[in-house]
Structures are given as C-alpha cells and as structure tokens.
Amino acid sequence: MDNNSVIPVIHDYRIDDVLYEKDSKLKYVYRQGRLYAEYIYESNRISRINYGVDIYAYEICQYDTKGALEKISSYYQPPALGLGHTNIYSYDVKGNKVKEQIDFTDNRETVVNLYQYNGGKLTKKEHYEGKQLTFYEVYKYKGDILVKKNFYVPSEKDFVTTEYFYETGLLVYSITYSGNPGSGFGRDERNYYDRNDNLIKRVENIPGLSSYSGATAFYITEKYEYE
C-alpha cells in the first residue's frame, strides 16, 4: 500500500472553550453562520433531519428490525419543486452496506451505489446512473485507518486523490488534488474538536470558488452543536 504523499502542517485541532459530553448526539449544523440542518432523534436514532431555518427540505429515516438504516425519504417544500427522492439501503450478512438505491419523484434515472469490502473495510464504491457507471472510488488503508481515496471517471485518464491525516485517532486534516500533490490542489479541510473528541468545527478551503475575485482561498465553515 502507498504511504501518504503529502506532508501537512497539522493545526491546533482542539477548541477549549466548548465542551460537550463524550459521544454526544449532533443537534445542529451551521454553515457560514446560518442554520443548515437540525437532527431529531427517537429511541436514540436519527428519525428526521430538517434543513434551513424555514425547513425548505427534510428527511425521514427508517430502520429495519436489526436497527440498520433501511430508508431515507427526502422531501422539498413546496413539493412542486419535484426534487424528492428515496434512498434504500441493503446489507450483507455481516452488516456491511452493499447497495444504495436512489429513486426520484420525477423522471430522472435511478441512481445506484455499490460497495465492496475486504476484511470488513470498504475498498471500492461504484456509482451508476441508470445502467451507466459514471464514477468509482478506491479506498486505501494503513492498518484499519483510511488514508487515501482515489476518484475515477471511466472515460477519463486522470483521477482525483484525497488524503486523510489523523492525530490521537481523530481525523484532523484532508487534502484533495488532481495529478501530483502540490500541482493540482483542489481543496483541503481542517477539523476541530472539543476535549471529549466531539467535532466542533470544520473549515474547508476551496480556491476554485474564489477564481473570479482573484483570491487564493475561499473558506466554508461549518459549526456543530450537540444535545
């Protein structure tokens, strides 16, 4: 297996002025300072996700008798937008998710994601629109830790790589690039945690979104609050 080919400067990933109980349940996600998502729970499981302050969309989660996520039904308001869809999940005998089928309320083709495993670790994801394979992802590990993901489009020679970096078992940094590291930078993400390892903030730098202004960085910030 290849080692990571990027040497990042790991930031101070701890936030000391926020502290939730360990393994707290996520309640709110804020994006660029505005409420993006609210999570509602029943029997300790996510039952509904509301999006936006005015709830322009929401998702209903259903589980099978073993407690595995079986279906997510997505709705948009007003319904006339025609963007609703249903995600249906299938698992193998070991409980690994092997298929996700996405059916839309309009005339779009069904989307299917297929997942492959080796030793319990996800190694490949294939994405089909109708019967056409449109992209696939290959995952590489160091021990049990995901360190690299390669994204391929069958009709293209080049591919996109994401590398993942950890401190004290926490994912703190990832970088995505095409071509060789340093020559095709696409984006990177930095994660910040409280002292109980709850993810508090994620900052994503996507320079391509700032191309019109001539800036070298464009930051998207998400913040997380817990019950």
In a domain, residue 167? The reply is yes
- Strand 111-118, strand 97-104: pairing: antiparallel
In a domain, residue 187? The reply is yes
In a domain, residue 77? The reply is no
- Strand 85-91, strand 97-104: pairing: antiparallel
This prediction's pTM: 0.88
**Alpha carbons 17 and 223: distance in angstroms, whole number:** 14
Quote the number of domains for the chain.
1
Residue where the block lists tokens 């997505």? 74
| Contact status, residue 151 vs residue 137, Cβ threshold 8 Å | yes
In a domain, residue 227? The reply is yes
**Alpha carbons 61 and 46: distance in angstroms, whole number:** 7
Question: By C-alpha distance, which of 154, 113, 158 is closest to 134?
Answer: 154
The string over 104-142, giving b where at least 16 C-beta atoms fall within 10 Å of a residue's C-beta and e elsewhere, is eeeeeeebbbbbeeeeeebeebbbbeeeebebbbbbbbe
**Alpha carbons 162 and 150: distance in angstroms, whole number:** 6
Per-residue pLDDT tens for 101-126?
Answer: 999 988 889 999 999 999 999 999 99
Where does residue 183 fall: left (phi above 0), alpha (psi -120 to 50 degrees), or beta otherwise? alpha
Range of the domain at 185: 158-227
The mean pLDDT value for 154-183 works out to: 88
pLDDT at 95 over 90: yes
In a domain, residue 207? The reply is yes
Per-residue pLDDT tens for 30-43?
Answer: 999 999 999 999 99
* Secondary structure E strands in 105-156: 111-118, 121-129, 132-142, 145-152
In a domain, residue 134? The reply is no
In a domain, residue 28? The reply is no
3-class state of residue 79 by DSSP: helix
**Alpha carbons 64 and 76: distance in angstroms, whole number:** 25
| Across 40-49, 65-74, 113-122, 170-179, least confident range | 170-179
pLDDT at 211 over 50: no
| Across 27-36, 89-98, 203-212, least confident range | 203-212
**pLDDT class for 213, splitting at 50, 70, 90?**
very low
pLDDT at 81 over 70: no
In a domain, residue 172? The reply is yes
> Rounded to the nearest 5 degrees, what angle is found at the Cα of 34, between the Cα atoms of 31 and 38?
80
